[in-house]
Amino acid sequence: MPVSTPSTEAVQARVTVADTQVAEHRVTRPSTLSFGDVTVTFGSNPQASPASRSEIPTEIRRQFSEMAERWYLDTMPLSSYVERILHPAYQKILVLGKRTVPLIMDEIRDMPNDWFWALRMLTDVDPVEAGDAGNMQAMANAWLRWWEVSGPEWQQRNGL
């Protein structure tokens, strides 16, 4: 049975798609946090595909919404900061990468919550004053100010 040979253009197209898919799921600059017997690896994905730069892909939105809802419902009764940020749904949001940052901004705009750890990990920025430790509204305001002033440049720099 003869085997057809794909054209060079077709092969290149497949490679490009494959590279994009790998880049979509690659966690770059991994960091780890060890806490007791738990080690968490987190990271971000700055290599968004060109096709996704203009808007957040529907699939990312869907996964974010699903994970965020799970996280809210499971951790709402808890006061432990550690339990909240080590929750599996929160860790999965970190793995979704930098394209979740605008979605997280929407969350803290509506109700300040424990998204600041994720924002620091995803942006490598920390606009919160040390004197505001624990002050959720002040921390949310600092992040929203940063987003308003520096968000567009940060998105552009990260190819989002």
Partner 1 sequence: MPSVISTILAKIEAGKDLPDEFENLLPGTYEIKSEWTGVYNCIAFAANETHRKWWPVPFDEGRKDRYWPEGAPRTEKLKSFVRAFEICGGYRPCDDDQLENGIEKVAIFMRGSKPTHMARQLLDGKWVSKLGDKQDIHHNSLHEVEGRIYGTVVRILCRDVVSAT
Residues lying near partner 1 in the complex (CB under 8 A): 33, 35, 61, 64-65, 68-69, 72-73, 75-82, 85, 103, 106-107, 109-114, 116-117, 120, 126, 128, 130, 132-137, 139
Q: Which residues of 51-90 are buried (b: 16+ CB within 10 A; e: fewer)?
A: ebeeebeeebbebbeebbebbeeebeeeeeeeebbbbebb
Minimal distance in Å, beta carbon 70 to partner 1? Answer: 10
Minimal distance in Å, beta carbon 111 to partner 1? Answer: 5
Minimal distance in Å, beta carbon 26 to partner 1? Answer: 23
Nearer to partner 1, 23 or 114 (CB): 114
Minimal distance in Å, beta carbon 133 to partner 1? Answer: 5
Nearer to partner 1, 74 or 95 (CB): 74
Which position has the token pair 């060890």? 34
Nearer to partner 1, 45 or 100 (CB): 100
| Integer angstrom CA distances of residue 54 from 16, 51, 62, 95, 159 | 19, 7, 17, 20, 9
Residues 145, 148: Cα–Cα separation, whole Å? 5
99: amino acid identity, one letter: R
Nearer to partner 1, 72 or 154 (CB): 72
